[in-house]
Chain A
Amino acid sequence: MKLVAVSAGLSQPSSTRLLADRLVQATRARLEEPAAGAPVEARVIELRDLAGDIANALVTGFPNTRLREAVDAVTGADGLVAVTPVFTASYSGLFKSFVDVLDPDALAGVPVLVAATGGTARHSLVLEHAMRPLFAYLRAVVVPTAVYAASEDWGGGGDAFTEGLAERVGRAGAELAGLMTGQAATRRRPAGPGDDVEAVVPFEEQLAALRP
């Protein structure tokens, strides 16, 4: 079972990457429980390493070999963890530019866990008003728990109103693992270079559709 995380963190070390790692770990732990028992192939893609390639893809209209490999990994995943830092009231431009390179159909039906990091918890609804609609447009299946980690969350537990970061990470990971094991068998994959040529509408049908 393929689990892929995309991290749009920029600094090194990056708390965005750290959150991605934690979410992957939580999902993997649930997937590998004896009851589920699926071997997991997990991978984290750092968009920072692909920043130039992503900009070039916007200019040329196609991803180069290195970026293609990352795109194929993301669109071929059985489950996706998407983590961005909050920049100016939304996901970062680098994160969105990467999503712009994906085929609009490529994530249809794919379970996705969305997460974000920021300096203050006041930005946490970015997950609900920016990240979730983005993946809704792509017809991905976004898990109910979206995980926001403000700087203070890394040091503290929960409060009277919500659980701590560790609990939320665990819950979100379990939700993603549940969706992945529930649907993996029926998932439709996008066609790739190794597949047969694409399906086509027979020409007689195209002609017939135009007859007055």
Chain B
Amino acid sequence: MQFGIFSVGDVTTDPTTGRTPSERERIKAMVTIALKAEEVGLDVFATGEHHNPPFVPSSPTTMLGYIAARTERLILSTATTLITTNDPVKIAEDYAMLQHLADGRVDLILGRGNTGPVYPWFGQDIRQGIPLAIENYALLHKLWREDVVDWEGRFRTPLQGFTATPRPLDGVPPFVWHGSIRSPEIAEQAAYYGDGFFANNIFWPKEHFIRLITLYRQRYAHYGHGTPEQAIVGLGGQVFMRKNSQDAVREFRPYFDNAPVYGHGPSLEDFMAETPLTVGSPQQVIDRTLTFREHFGDYQRQLFLMDHAGLPLKTVLEQLDILGEEVVPVLRREFAKNRPAGVPDAPTHAARTSEPSAA
């Protein structure tokens, strides 16, 4: 099982000091956080893709390429690659390039983004959101698997005898997760291709995601990729820890109360009860995270959101120390216990290269 962090890349004022980092500071902080993730023994760093303030990560492969050069082991992923508005030809080439530079430590979570206006910024029509996600991925899938592609679709100019370069490393395309918070069509898409399904469950109650993941697992089996239990599932999580849980709550509360997504709404306590957010001791985080398996089945990847809502870099790095030293080693041990034999490990380039059928 893989453990890591994912970042939205928001530039948010620290509510306790009133200080707002510059874009440069935030971008550099994201890199520092990624390097720290490798240092403390995490497996994955994933960055969002946004094209509007207050977010900075508009160019994921630039950032991930830079991090690749400074890490050895860390898997570099996107937390959203906009499959709707990016040209699939460019995605095919950018991420194949990154694969070569990072020696295969690359995968992607495809998504449709969090804001409607992004569609016209890239010449697309939001009313076609789901059809764009379907057609663009069908083309991307082909570009990574066929050396010479003829293509005709509804949303872009046809391709005739086109070869995306460079070809994927060792002929194995980056592993793809399809991310969704509400659309069953995307769970169906992930199942059809036998790709992973990443449910970013951090802002909504679990019942909703149980339905989506159950659908994905059933349809994964329907399309003959394996049993429902063998489908590849990733989940989000959101935590803040201190040795004493009261200290964690006291320190995190002003960030929670003013957070961009859920601030000025429910109390921290209510939100913790309704969503996976856990603010408390490392043991509380361990206990809560272990319950995910009971709800969603044995899964492959756990990503935590650690660096949003204006938390200062120093605090985030302290959080990563706690996560890497006290939480993840225990989670690895506990998740390994009673894991049924048929449940696959999280996908890596090395493993997929040795099993050509998985490509």
Contacts and interface: CB of A to CB of B under 8 A. Distances in A.
A210 interface: yes
B86 interface: no
Given A55-B265, A60-B271, A197-B218, A212 B138 contact: no
B317 to A, nearest CB: 29
A64 B274 contact: yes
Nearest to B211: A197
B125 to A, nearest CB: 14
B270 A64 contact: yes
B154 A210 contact: yes
A109 B262 CA distance: 34
A206 B185 contact: yes
Taking chain A's interface residues, is the majority helix, strand, or loop, or is none over half, making it mixed? Answer: loop
Contacts of B135: 210
Contacts of A185: none
B188 A200 contact: yes
Interface string A177-212: 000000000000000010001101111001101101
A60 B266 contact: yes
B192 interface: yes
A137 interface: no
A34 B204 CA distance: 46
B184 A200 contact: yes
Contacts of A56: 265-266, 270
B215 A200 contact: yes
A58 B218 CA distance: 32
A198 B215 contact: yes
B309 to A, nearest CB: 14
Contacts of A197: 184, 211, 214-215, 218
B55 interface: no
A65 interface: yes
B204 to A, nearest CB: 5
A180 B140 CA distance: 52
Nearest to B223: A203
Given A56-B266, A59-B264, A210 B134 contact: yes
A193 B210 CA distance: 8
A37 B263 CA distance: 50
A154 interface: no
Contact of B262 (A59, A65, A212): A59
B266 A59 contact: yes
B188 to A, nearest CB: 5
Interface string B191-225: 11000000000011101101100110011000100
B210 to A, nearest CB: 7
A62 B274 contact: yes
Contacts of A200: 184-185, 187-188, 215, 219
B218 A60 contact: no
B148 interface: no
B171 interface: no
Given A60-B266, A62-B204, A62-B274, A193 B211 contact: yes
A207 B138 contact: yes
B204 A61 contact: yes
B138 A64 contact: no
Given A62-B208, A193-B207, A197-B211, A207 B262 contact: no
Contact of A212 (B154, B184, B188, B191): B154
B150 interface: no
B152 interface: yes
Given A198-B211, A212-B153, A59 B265 contact: yes
B185 A201 contact: yes
A206 B132 CA distance: 11
B72 to A, nearest CB: 38
B3 to A, nearest CB: 26
B203 A60 contact: yes
Given A60-B266, A64-B274, A207 B211 contact: no
Nearest to B207: A193
B54 interface: no
A203 B153 contact: no
A68 B204 CA distance: 12
Contacts of B192: 203
B223 to A, nearest CB: 8
Given A193-B211, A201-B188, 19 more contacts: A56-B265, A56-B266, A60-B262, A61-B203, A62-B205, A62-B274, A64-B266, A65-B205, A65-B273, A68-B205, A197-B184, A200-B187, A202-B188, A203-B192, A206-B188, A207-B134, A207-B138, A210-B131, A212-B154
Interface of B: 130-131, 134-135, 138, 152-154, 184-185, 187-189, 191-192, 203-205, 207-208, 210-211, 214-215, 218-219, 223, 261-266, 270-271, 273-274
Interface of A: 55-56, 58-62, 64-65, 68, 193, 197-198, 200-203, 206-207, 209-210, 212
15 contacts: A56-B270, A59-B263, A60-B271, A60-B274, A61-B204, A64-B270, A64-B274, A65-B205, A65-B273, A197-B211, A200-B185, A200-B219, A201-B185, A203-B223, A207-B134
The 9 closest A-B pairs by CB, nearest first: A59-B265, A203-B192, A56-B266, A197-B215, A193-B207, A56-B265, A197-B214, A200-B188, A200-B184
